[in-house]
């Protein structure tokens, strides 16, 4: 008699599963294809005993004209070292994030991305195993466009508005990360509690983007992110990729009921509308209070955790 697959295994049949963590032990347990990191996850990882040798090595190798530059370089080296360690476990890619404080500076974002890729190359990791994570500001999307043309693939993160998704696809970004749970959080704080996953605003956002990408033939990968519960994950089964925290992946592994496909590419195609310009992008974002607030909040929080990480490493430099 065949053993019934749990829902995590069923999800793997429908979607590429990515682990949203920097915890090596957790990644080994849930066996994702890819993994994503961000400054908040790196800050947590840096405190884990398993990463102590990586922290020591990053500090020893740090370079720069002054103390601030050496601290920044140590952070980059630690980020790359953790990414390399993750790639020893996952068969696919790791996403490594650019400093959120560069979110409104296209040139600086490109330079930082190139530096991270160079550090990975020095560590023996080729670009085809890396995604550079960049906030989905207008400037960040322009940086992603330049990087993609140079052969550096990108993950546009902190994506909340449809206009961000359109601009990202038109820029040729390899992947976008629409934040399901943070969208839901914003509406819940204002009294809108979805009765079913189908009514969840975060789920609806990803479904709309997925359908639009497929209909207009864009190759940019849609990777739902920032989940609050397994119902949200199940409601997006069939999405190109889903990046999920280890605790939710382990919860899915305990569920044995049928997990049906929720997202389908119906095969219908249509010409894409005219390219979105900067004015339309900024106006659309401005008119979406949720997206405006959550994008700004996300950048601030990631920047704050980057500062905390620098403080931790700086104290030991």
Which amino acids are annotated catalytic? Answer: 133
Secondary structure letter of residue 229 according to DSSP: S
List all residues 6 or more positions away from 298 whose beta carbon is below 8 Å from its beta carbon.
100, 135, 158, 179, 182
Q: CA–CA separation, 255 vs 102, rounded Å?
A: 41
Burial grade of 201 (CB within 10 A; 0-12, 13-18, 19 or more): middle
DSSP 158-197: EE-SHHHHHHHHHTT-SEEEEBHHHHHHHHHTTT---SSG
Answer whether 176's CB lies under 8 Å from 155's CB: yes
Whose CA is closest to 259, among 17, 1, 56? 17
The greatest distance separating any two alpha carbons of the chain, rounded to the nearest whole angstrom, comes to 66
């Amino acid at each position: 008699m065949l053993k019934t697959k749990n829902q995590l295994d069923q999800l793997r049949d429908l979607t590429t599963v990515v682990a949203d963590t920097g915890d090596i032990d957790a990644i080994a347990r849930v066996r994702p294809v890819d993994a994503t990191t961000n400054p908040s996850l790196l800050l947590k990882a840096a405190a884990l005993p398993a990463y102590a040798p990586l922290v020591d090595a990053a500090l020893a190798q740090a370079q720069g004209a002054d103390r601030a530059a050496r601290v920044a370089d140590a952070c980059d080296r630690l980020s790359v070292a953790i990414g390399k360690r993750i790639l020893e476990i996952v068969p696919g890619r790791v996403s490594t994030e650019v400093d959120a404080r560069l979110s409104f500076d296209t040139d600086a974002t490109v330079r930082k991305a190139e530096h991270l890729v160079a550090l990975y190359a020095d560590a023996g990791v080729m670009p085809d195993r890396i995604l550079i994570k960049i906030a989905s500001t207008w400037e960040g999307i322009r940086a992603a466009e330049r990087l993609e043309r140079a052969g550096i693939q990108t993950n546009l993160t902190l994506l909340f508005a449809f206009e961000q998704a359109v601009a990202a696809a038109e820029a040729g970004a390899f992947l976008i990360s629409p934040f399901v749970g943070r969208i839901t959080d914003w509406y819940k704080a204002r009294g809108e509690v979805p009765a079913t996953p189908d009514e969840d605003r975060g789920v609806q956002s990803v479904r709309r983007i997925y359908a639009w990408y497929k209909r207009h033939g864009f190759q940019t990968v849609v990777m739902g992110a920032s989940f609050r519960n397994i119902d949200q994950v199940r409601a997006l089964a069939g999405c190109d990729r889903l990046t999920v925290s280890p605790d939710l992946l382990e919860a899915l592994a305990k569920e044995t009921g049928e997990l049906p496909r929720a997202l389908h590419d119906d095969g219908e195609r249509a010409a894409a509308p005219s390219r979105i310009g900067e004015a339309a992008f900024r106006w659309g974002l401005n008119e979406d209070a949720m997206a405006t607030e959550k994008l700004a909040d996300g950048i601030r929080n990631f920047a704050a955790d980057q500062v905390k990480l620098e403080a931790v490493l700086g104290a030991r430099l």
